[in-house]
């Protein structure tokens, strides 16, 4: 049995359990809704054209934060991974910064950037930054030092050394950190919308909570999970395709 079939069976079993859980008397349907009600509401959102606008709002905030956090995290991660002096100066600060509960700073970011998209982008970027930083830094530092030394002896320098030696060795680390960062970028954007927004998936979820409509809460969460799941599958495919590039480029 393939892994995909096994996963579908597990998901189907979970949905069936959720659907029939209220019949056992273990849970109140008011608080847990049901998969059929959630699916019907999502379909209604799609038919009304309402869902697309909310998805685009949250996705634009999450991807902007992902882009900014990835660029900054990758740049500083490369600097620390390639330079011992930079590593000694910045790595303790990065470690301390990573220990801070960044999602708890959402109210502060809203105070600084307002209730518009900027605060959600800043929150997403601050979360993504550390995933990418440690992914790039760890990937560079865990590379084959003998291969790097041989490449230098053969004249490898600068961008050529980075492209042909360092990045192929760090590739899987980078993709793994991106897979984590994508989910957390969306989570940060949604949490930012919890605290103040008039559009977005986070707005749908918090509005459902305020109206005591658990079906809307679960529907909004289901849409977020579906989007992140699709993106994760795409990144996994990129990792599989990149593994061949990594192996070829590693043979210098």
- CATH, residue 170: 1.10.3720.10
HEC per residue, the chain: CCHHHHHHHHHHHHHHHHHHHHHHCCCCHHHHCCHHHHHHHHHHHHHHCHHHHHHHHHHHHHHHHHHHHHHHHHHHHHHHHHCHHHHHHHHHHHHHHHCCCHHHHHHHHHHHHCCCHHHHHHHHHHHHHHHHHHHHHHHHHCCCHHHHHHHHHCCCCHHHHHHHHHHHHHHHHHHHHHHHHHHHHHHHHHHHHHHCCCCCHHHHHHHHHHCCCHHHHHHHHHHHHHHHHHHHHHHHHHHHHHHHHHHHHCCC
Q: Tell me the residue range of the domain where 64 lies.
A: 36-249
The string of pLDDT tens digits covering residues 161-195 is 665 566 677 777 788 888 888 888 988 888 888 87
* Residue at 193 is within a domain: yes
pTM of the model: 0.80
The string of pLDDT tens digits covering residues 179-237 is 888 888 988 888 888 877 788 998 999 989 888 889 999 999 999 999 988 888 887 77
* Residue at 88 is within a domain: yes
* Residue at 242 is within a domain: yes
**Domains: count for the chain:** 1
């Amino acid at each position: 049995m393939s892994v995909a079939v096994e996963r579908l069976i597990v998901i189907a079993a979970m949905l069936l359990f959720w659907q029939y859980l209220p019949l056992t008397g273990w849970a109140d349907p008011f608080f847990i809704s049901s998969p059929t009600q959630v699916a019907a509401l999502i379909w209604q959102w799609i038919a009304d054209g309402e869902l697309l606008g909310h998805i685009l709002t949250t996705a634009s905030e999450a991807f902007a934060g992902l882009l900014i956090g990835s660029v900054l995290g990758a740049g500083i991660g490369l600097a620390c991974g390639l330079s011992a002096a930079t590593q000694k100066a910045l790595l303790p600060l990065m470690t301390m910064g990573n220990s801070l509960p960044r999602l708890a700073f959402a109210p502060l970011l809203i105070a600084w950037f307002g209730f518009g998209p900027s605060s959600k982008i800043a929150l997403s970027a601050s979360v993504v930054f550390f995933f990418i930083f440690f992914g790039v830094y760890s990937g560079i530092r865990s590379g084959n030092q003998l291969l790097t030394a041989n490449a230098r002896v053969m004249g490898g320098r600068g961008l050529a050394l980075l492209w042909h030696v360092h990045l192929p060795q760090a590739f899987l680390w980078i993709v793994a950190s991106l897979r984590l960062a994508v989910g957390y970028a969306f989570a940060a954007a949604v949490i930012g919308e919890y605290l103040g927004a008039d559009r977005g998936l986070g707005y749908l979820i918090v509005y459902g909570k305020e109206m005591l409509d658990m079906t809307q809460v679960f529907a909004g969460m289901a849409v977020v999970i579906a989007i992140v799941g699709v993106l994760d599958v795409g990144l996994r495919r990129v990792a599989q395709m990149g593994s061949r590039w990594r192996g070829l480029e590693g043979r210098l």
